[in-house]
């Protein structure tokens, strides 16, 4: 089953609740992670970058492995993603996304470009980035909005969660997911629709 | 007023990065012009972010951090060269969407009475079947079905067919189960279309197959 985690911790809130060892500082929460990206963007702060690396690089690598990249390639592309994080930090807009969401998009694009590179094709051009003037207020709104998405994801049925994870964490379009799960494509699509409709309903209730 | 959007699972595939490149381009053009789909895209990307946050981390090579730190001051690679884009003499006021900036665009070619197309080539996916379609007012596109999914984004003017009426900003999603013959509005229509598996016409098996 592609090494999927059978017990996703989706229902957890944004504050990280992992046990804190006496040796390590507690992992940064979403507000702290966004602040770190802003420090990288505004003052090229290498200490902040190191903290982001520690938190995100192993997650990006896990994502890439699940999306079908082999060991050495997953390692190489992870390092490229982390380098992109340094270079593209100026495009991070806390009014639009949390740090994890922003890095998810960078890692996803890197995965697609890695598949192209294997076939000798160039990367797709970057979308134009605008200058952002971040404010603390918009960051709070973003984190609230994303916390709702996270809670709504955790409230989906196990079946729908599995399809959502496969949709995000595999290299394959929905037809291949249907093959993997040995389900008709129509069933996969209707589960996706149902899951997305429930996500949306949950979000609109709270809005 | 945008009335037709990508199907929810199509937008999800777009955000997950599993849509075919031509369809991804067409979806990106739609999302750029559609506040509703922008909001939905942000929600789906937030779901991707939540899943990334919750994944079981995998350790990197011991020297990975040092290797990346050593590269921080390297200059970023230069942007890819600008592809050739023909002057299409677009209708006044129409600017090609930003998502098309990296694509090569050919000149108009005759396709039928009142019907022209311009080949859109993506350097990162050169085999994709993507085109701009220009239909004169009141003309019909040939009756056709598809080898797979067809995404059509209206850039200017409009058309209608058995599935409804489409105006600027609308996206039509058709698949192999739909045979249709779109009729352009009186002012004509200019669309971006991405085809999977080519067009299927009753009188030739493939017009633009791979």
Secondary structure of A37-96 in HEC code, one letter for each residue: HHHHHHHCCHHHHHHHHHHHHHHHHHHHHHCCCCHHHHHHHHHHHHHHHHHHHHHCCCCC
The pLDDT of residue A4:
39
Residue B42 to residue A96, Cβ atoms within 8 A: yes
Q: A104 and A32, same structural domain?
A: yes
- Determine the structural domain holding residue A76 and report its residue range: 28-128
Rounded distance, CA B196 to CA B28, Å? 17
User: Mean pLDDT of all residues in chain A?
Assistant: 82
> What pLDDT, in 10s, does the model give residues B53-98?
999 999 999 999 999 999 999 998 888 888 999 999 999 889 999 9
Cα–Cα nearest to A172, from B41, B26, B16, B54: B16
Does A183 fall in a domain? yes
Residue A60 sits in the same domain as residue A123: yes
Q: Each residue of A45-85: pLDDT tens digit?
A: 999 999 999 999 999 999 999 988 988 999 999 999 999 99
Contact A146 B50 (CB under 8 A): yes
Last residue of a domain, one of A128, A163, A185: A128
- By C-alpha distance, the chain A residue nearest B12 is A167
The pLDDT tens digits of the residues spanning A11-57 come to 333 334 444 444 566 778 999 999 999 999 999 999 999 999 999 99
Q: Are residues A118 and A38 in the same domain?
A: yes
Query: CATH for B1-88+96-202?
Result: 2.60.120.10
Q: What is the ipTM of this complex?
A: 0.89
H/E segment holding residue A163: helix A158-168
Comparing C-alpha atoms, which of B41, B50, B54, B39 is closest to residue A147?
B50
Q: DSSP letters of B26-70? A: HHHHHHHT-HHHHHHHHHHHHHHHHHHHHS---PPPTTHHHHHHH
Q: How far apart are CA A172 and CA A166, in angstroms?
A: 9
What's the confidence (pLDDT) of residue A112? 94
pLDDT at B13: 92
Residues on chain A touching B58 (C-beta within 8 angstroms): 58, 61-62, 65, 74
Going from N- to C-terminal start, the domains of chain B cover 1-88+96-202
Residue A1 lies in a domain: no
The encoded tokens of residue B12 equal 């999800």
List all residues of chain A from 11 to 70 with a beta carbon under 8 Å from chain B: 12, 46, 49-50, 53-54, 57-63, 65-66
Q: Are residues A90 and A167 in the same domain?
A: no
Query: Among A144-148, B69-73, B159-163, B200-204, which stretch is predicted with the lowest mean pLDDT?
Result: B200-204
Q: Tell me which DSSP letter residue B100 carries.
A: G
- A92 at B interface, C-beta within 8 A: no
Any domain includes A14: no
Q: Looking at the complex, report in whole angstroms how far the Cα of residue B16 sits from the nearest Cα belonging to chain A.
A: 5
Please give the model's pTM, rounded to 2 decimal places: 0.86
How many interface pairs between A and B have CB atoms less than 8 angstroms apart? Answer: 174
In B, minimum Cα distance to A108 occurs at B17
- Considering the domain architecture, whether residues A114 and A206 belong to the same structural domain is answered as no
């Amino acid at each position: 089953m592609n090494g999927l985690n059978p017990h996703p911790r989706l229902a957890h809130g944004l504050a990280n609740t992992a046990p804190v060892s006496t040796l390590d500082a507690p992992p940064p929460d979403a507000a702290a992670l966004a602040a770190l990206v802003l420090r990288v963007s505004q003052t090229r702060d290498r200490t902040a970058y190191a903290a982001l690396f520690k938190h995100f690089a192993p997650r990006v690598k896990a994502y890439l492995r699940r999306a079908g990249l082999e060991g050495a390639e997953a390692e190489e592309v992870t390092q490229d993603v982390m380098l992109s994080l340094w270079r593209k930090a100026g495009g991070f807009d806390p009014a639009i996304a949390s740090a994890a969401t922003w890095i998810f998009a960078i890692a996803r694009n890197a995965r697609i470009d890695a598949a192209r590179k294997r076939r000798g094709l160039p990367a797709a051009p970057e979308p134009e980035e605008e200058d952002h003037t971040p404010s603390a207020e918009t960051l709070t709104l973003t984190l609230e909005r994303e916390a709702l998405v996270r809670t709504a994801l955790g409230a989906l049925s196990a079946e729908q969660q599995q399809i959502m994870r496969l949709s995000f964490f595999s290299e394959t379009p929905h037809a291949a997911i249907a093959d993997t799960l040995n389900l008709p494509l129509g069933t996969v699509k209707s589960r996706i629709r149902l899951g997305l409709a429930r996500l949306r309903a949950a979000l609109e209730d709270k809005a | 007023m945008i009335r037709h959007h990508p199907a929810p699972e199509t937008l999800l595939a777009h955000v997950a990065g599993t849509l075919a490149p031509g369809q991804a381009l067409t979806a990106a053009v739609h999302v750029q012009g559609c506040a509703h789909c922008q909001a939905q895209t942000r929600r789906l990307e937030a779901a991707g972010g939540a899943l990334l946050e919750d994944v079981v981390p995998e350790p990197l090579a011991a020297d990975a951090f040092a290797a990346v730190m050593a590269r921080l001051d390297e200059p970023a690679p230069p942007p890819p060269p600008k592809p050739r884009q023909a002057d299409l003499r677009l209708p006044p006021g129409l600017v090609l969407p930003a998502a098309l900036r990296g694509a090569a665009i050919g000149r108009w070619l005759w396709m039928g009475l009142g019907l022209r197309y311009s080949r859109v080539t993506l350097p990162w996916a050169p085999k994709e079947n993507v085109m701009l379609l220009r239909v004169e007012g009141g003309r019909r596109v040939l009756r056709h079905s598809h080898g797979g999914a067809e995404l059509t984004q209206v850039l200017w003017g409009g058309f209608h067919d058995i599935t409804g009426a489409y105006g600027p900003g609308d996206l039509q999603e058709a698949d192999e189960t739909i045979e249709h013959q779109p009729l352009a509005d009186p002012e004509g229509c200019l669309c971006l279309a991405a085809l999977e598996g080519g067009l299927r016409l009753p009188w030739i098996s493939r017009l633009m197959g791979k």
